[in-house]
Chain A
């Protein structure tokens, strides 16, 4: 996906809102999602996380009305509320745990090479996540 370009969004217009013979439309209703509160720790891993991980695993909303970013949404489905879906709220991921997923990938998440993300940087991300999770819990 152009990389890579597999863009398959099936366009589903809110045509039920189309008045017969007319073109006026009501605003498609969208429910605002309560986003988790994340207090970001000021550590070197913050920028690394933001550049390498946050576009999939950030706590913010996804594109085009999606409630969550793709990685966060996947973890929400996986954990069903037993663990936070946003990585910045996880205080249980050390460098070795992150490395397991980063180097091997899982499901739709591909693996990451040392040329793009070093072991030291993974440890820095882990330190950032733990500190951010603690700060976000008010600890």
Chain B
């Protein structure tokens, strides 16, 4: 489906393509349907519908001066650019743009790991570098730092952090944007800017002191459209000497409240890595009688759930804990966690897990040495990028809604009930029940997950998914739970929910956008921020 950029006719578009070829070489500009196919969102629920967003062309620069040249050409022709890093943002739109007719600025060829320092513990990379690339760079050189990577290792540290993606190690590294330090940005006028200490020409601390002096605009470039990030620094964890796991179970439904409070203490005190919550009762969801109870309208009572747990001989909740550091401190932290929780929650039990010096053996990395089945995915926990997680991707992919919740048991119980009830009208498998456990990805909040699959051959199913996504965003917001990240087709829905004081945040972003990017050429609509030219 050939499309033209907004407000550009075919002859002007042909001139733009010719100038782009002159800037980067003819081999790195694409505009045919075949070549643009991979720039569609493979996981789109609106595939082949009027709502799908299509690129008009794609261009892949080799270096920063070429990025600047492309941005200046986009300004000359007033054509929207949609920058991507490795283009693997699946579940959140993949490489597809917000505005049909955008030219995708494919940064995959900017693929240099510029620096890794394992004494001061940071990296500086370009956007086309993947987690696999960074991991290989570190391992091939025997550097003593560990990365924190998301589930699929083909993503880009820059792209992932700009989407506020997460990983699975210690709290200060799991929030990938939070662990970033210093960026280089091509602004909408083509000018190059560096943030933080990078603005001081001779500074040697670009990746160590994030702020420099004065306002720090770095946050504008995450889920934003104020420039194109071409370099970014990341703090790295020194390779730990030892790794240890342990499982805590608690018998009653309401025990979850105290369990969460204890784990919050452990995590905020930097005593443990990602805590992985679960409910052993989820294994009963195949039983129709139990499933009906767990998904009951208005939610089951604590007594009903406790009785079901007792009948099944199962605890109500569990948490997988993991510890990094010297062997002695991992042991001490686990012993402390056990003592703290078991002395406070009657009936709580603790099970010693795996423990071994790092680096892990192949068997340890494959997670075949854990003395019980675990919710921890070992590769991610040890900062080893993988695509093993793709085994959960069914049909033709999925979309995702991940509301941000308070880190409390009560909030989880409320969200289970509210979101479960809200989605009952849709014929999809239940994502929320009284056994739904929170994700502890970002280090100071919980999230839940709604990620229904899409089926390219079943547009009726996709339409149901699409409606369900829009409804769950709205219902969650009514209860104070906002999504953290969204595909372009949902970004306006999500941005609309962040509406305090008559959308003052959005109006502030729009004022900035109009001042910095008056022609609206950088990713109009990204993050729900529309330049004047495109505002309705």
Give A contacts to B, CB under 8 Å.
1-15, 17-18, 20, 23, 25-28, 30, 51, 55-56, 61-66, 69-71, 73, 103-105, 107-108, 110-116
Contact = CB atoms under 8 A, between A and B. Distances in A.
Nearest to B394: A108
Contact of A107 (B109, B387, B395): B395
B308 interface: no
Interface string B206-249: 00000000000000000000000000000000000000000101
B377 to A, nearest CB: 6
B351 interface: yes
A111 B388 contact: no
A136 B30 CA distance: 38
Contact of B151 (A2, A25, A69, A114): A2
Given A11-B318, A110-B94, A64 B88 contact: no
B38 A103 contact: yes
Contact of B372 (A25, A66, A110): A25
B387 A115 contact: no
Interface stretch (B252-260, B276-284, B294-302): B276-284
Nearest to A3: B155
A15 B315 contact: yes
A3 B390 contact: no
Given A103-B34, A110-B94, A3 B86 contact: yes
Contacts, number: 218
Given A1-B393, A69-B388, A116-B87, 6 more contacts: A4-B88, A5-B165, A8-B451, A25-B371, A107-B396, A114-B30
A4 B372 contact: no
B100 interface: no
Contacts of B385: 55
B432 interface: no
24 contacts: A1-B152, A2-B165, A3-B88, A3-B92, A3-B152, A4-B151, A6-B151, A6-B449, A8-B392, A10-B278, A11-B320, A13-B278, A15-B280, A17-B372, A55-B385, A61-B366, A63-B366, A63-B391, A64-B378, A70-B388, A108-B390, A113-B108, A115-B58, A115-B60
Contact of B37 (A10, A55, A104): A104
Given A13-B318, A20-B313, A105 B351 contact: no
Interface size class of B (residues with CB under 8 A): 35 or more
B391 A66 contact: yes
A3 B283 contact: no
B195 interface: no
B160 interface: yes
A28 B368 CA distance: 9
A73 B320 CA distance: 27
A130 B28 CA distance: 29
Given A5-B166, A25-B371, A116-B87, A70 B400 contact: no
A20 B349 CA distance: 10
A25 B349 CA distance: 12
Given A12-B283, A116-B86, A27 B349 contact: no
A52 B491 CA distance: 30
Contact of B391 (A13, A18, A62, A104): A62
B152 A64 contact: no
Contacts of B367: 63-65
A27 to B, nearest CB: 6
Contacts of B388: 55, 62-64, 66, 69-70
Interface string B178-200: 00000000000000000000000
Contacts of B279: 11
Given A4-B152, A25-B371, A9 B377 contact: yes
A61 B363 CA distance: 10
**Which of A63, A105, A112 gathers most chain B CB within 10 Å?**
A63
A78 B210 CA distance: 50
A7 B277 CA distance: 13
Contacts of B511: none
Q: Nearest 7 CB-CB pairs, A to B?
A: A11-B375, A63-B388, A11-B278, A3-B155, A2-B150, A2-B165, A110-B42
Contacts of A108: 390, 393-397
Contact of A6 (B313, B378, B379, B400): B400
**Which of A6, A15, A103, A113 gathers most chain B CB within 10 Å?**
A6
B437 to A, nearest CB: 7
Nearest to A52: B154
Contact of B39 (A15, A66, A113): A113
A113 B391 contact: no
B150 A5 contact: yes
A21 B367 CA distance: 26
A51 B132 contact: yes
